[in-house]
Chains A and B, each alone.
Chain A
């Protein structure tokens, strides 16, 4: 960490721009059901609309205990004019939330649809994807210049995902592709995903991997089988998913196969990044003959083309300097702030800004809090 560099930032309002690179809508199937194309998906749409419990009947979500039982969910908080309430999770509420936390721009991800890998039926996965993308685009992206969208793609049907990417990829406000990170039947490094990567690269869109506790039963069935607590599902799902994805993507040469593609890892925090980079490098140096397509250390690919959303930063007890130290080790140029509102482990901008201001250079802080995201996602 620099000792002599500019350290004049004092508060979030000193920043020119704050971008949350992971904001959520709280969609229900009934929200986007009207957007599912009646001609293309008439059959499966009739089945989807009959589901009384989509989380279990269309998706296959199980948790060790009910999520957040006996816990005050941020999304149920009725104060501050109900700004956090999930039931009012519409465009106006999203914008109010950005204002509430002094966030200028948000890049939207789904909530239910991060569990898309748990949908068994291929037609259902495609129909849900098409409906969600259309709904998000019409209801949020086109109606605000502060909210940006990511195109969700189904691992069950990568060709359909590629068509979605080409359909929306050059539209204003569409800034990324969301693959999901947890529970895919076929790992994100496999050639199966080539249509998605080719389309994303062609449309010059970063690919994002958002991990998901609802999909832990598919991602890590053995661990989930033995979890006694929902909290265990929650703690484990995100870093395990991302460690595995990063290991697979790098060691199997996906960045080499798609040299113009940018990768964004979401929802696992920052503490694991330096550990995993060092571990990936260590075994690449020892076992590199198994990965001859790589022409440099895995960490160098990460430095050049991988980004990480910061939320949840994690709790550093009273040793807040550790947050800055971890950010320094992870690579300040590779971190993009995320709030994750309205989820109950969301990070206010101050949660990250306060520990890193004065420790990292001001330029690095500005980058993490918003300017890097503007560049990575080419926000206009």
Chain B
């Protein structure tokens, strides 16, 4: 099923719109021309995941493992306990075996749609 979220003009850069789709709250994030839809539900303790900040993330690569901040805004942090998820994959940043549902999006005639199958 295809559900209209909002017009593209309603999305500022790195902003989100949260809508209810068939009883489920889904957030659509707009960043760098892309739209990513994530269930507004943290798998940790059922918190409102997508109401938390969207940010980059800290990375560290071998061999030095020095901290580096990747500013690409792709991580949403749950406002309850700070669990962080990648909005593109739904995977937890610390352990990818934890995952929140994500949904496909489409742009049609200036409107953003989320596909819930």
Asked whether B62 lies within 8 Å of A297 as measured between CB atoms, the reply is: no
Chain A: interface secondary structure? helix
Q: Is the Cβ of B84 less than 8 Å from the Cβ of A289?
A: yes
A284 at the interface (CB under 8 A from B): yes
Smallest CB-CB separation from A300: which chain B residue?
Answer: B95
Number of interface residues of A (CB under 8 A): 16
Give the number of residue pairs across the A-B interface with Cβ within 8 Å: 42
Task: Assess whether B46 is interfacial by the CB under 8 Å rule.
Answer: no
Tell whether A288 pairs with B67 under 8 Å between CB atoms, given A256-B62, A293-B60, A297-B94: no
A290 contact set on B, CB distance < 8 A:
58
- Contacting residues, chain B, for A289 (C-beta < 8 A): 57-58, 84, 93
Question: Which of A257, A292, A296 has most chain B Cβ within 10 Å?
Answer: A292
Q: List the B residue with the shortest CB-CB distance to A257.
A: B65
Q: Which residue of A lies closest to B96 (CB)?
A: A296
The residues in A between 166 and 186 inclusive whose CB is less than 8 angstroms from any CB of B are none
User: Is B59's CB within 8 Å of the partner chain A?
Assistant: yes
Interface pair B81/A292, CB less than 8 Å apart: no
Q: Chain B residues with Cβ under 8 A from A253's Cβ?
A: 60, 65
Cβ of A66 within 8 Å of any chain B Cβ, yes or no, is: no
Say which residue of A256, A257, A285 sits within 8 Å of B94 (CB atoms): A285
- In residues 279-330 of chain A, which contact B (Cβ within 8 Å)? 284-290, 292-294, 296-297, 300
Please tell me if the beta carbons of B60 and A288 are within 8 angstroms of each other in the complex.
no
Q: Distance in Å from the Cβ of B56 to the closest Cβ of chain A?
A: 10
Other-chain residue from A292, A296, A297, A300 in contact with B60 (beta carbon distance below 8 A): A292
Q: What is the predominant secondary structure among interface residues of chain B facing chain A?
A: loop
Is B59 touching A292 in the complex (CB atoms < 8 A)?
A: yes
> CA A371 – CA B33 in complex, angstroms?
57
Q: For the complex formed, measure the closest distance between the CB of A259 and the CB atoms of chain B, giving whole angstroms.
A: 9
Contact A256 B95 (CB under 8 A): no
In the assembled complex, the CB of B49 is this many whole angstroms from the nearest CB of chain A, namely 13
Q: How far is the CB of A283 from chain B (nearest CB, A)?
A: 10
Query: Are A286 and B81 in contact, CB atoms less than 8 angstroms apart?
Result: yes
CB of B11 to closest CB in A, whole Å: 26
Answer yes or no: B44 CB below 8 A from chain A CBs: yes
Indicate whether B83 reaches chain A with its CB closer than 8 angstroms: yes
In the assembled complex, the Cα of A289 lies from the Cα of B63 at a distance in Å of: 18
CA distance A306 to B84 in the complex (A): 27
A80–B110 Cα distance when bound, in Å, is 90
Which interface residue of B65, B84, B93, B98 has the most chain A CB atoms within 10 A? B65
A-B contact pairs, 25 of them (CB 8 A): A253-B65, A256-B62, A257-B63, A284-B94, A285-B81, A285-B95, A285-B98, A286-B81, A286-B82, A286-B83, A287-B82, A288-B84, A288-B94, A289-B57, A289-B58, A290-B58, A292-B59, A292-B60, A292-B67, A293-B62, A293-B65, A294-B94, A297-B94, A297-B95, A300-B95
Chain B residues engaging chain A, CB cutoff 8 angstroms: 44, 57-60, 62-63, 65, 67, 81-84, 92-95, 98
What 17 additional pairs, Cβ within 8 angstroms, besides A285-B83, A294-B94? A253-B65, A256-B65, A257-B62, A284-B94, A285-B81, A285-B92, A285-B94, A285-B98, A286-B81, A288-B84, A288-B94, A292-B58, A292-B59, A293-B62, A296-B94, A297-B95, A300-B95
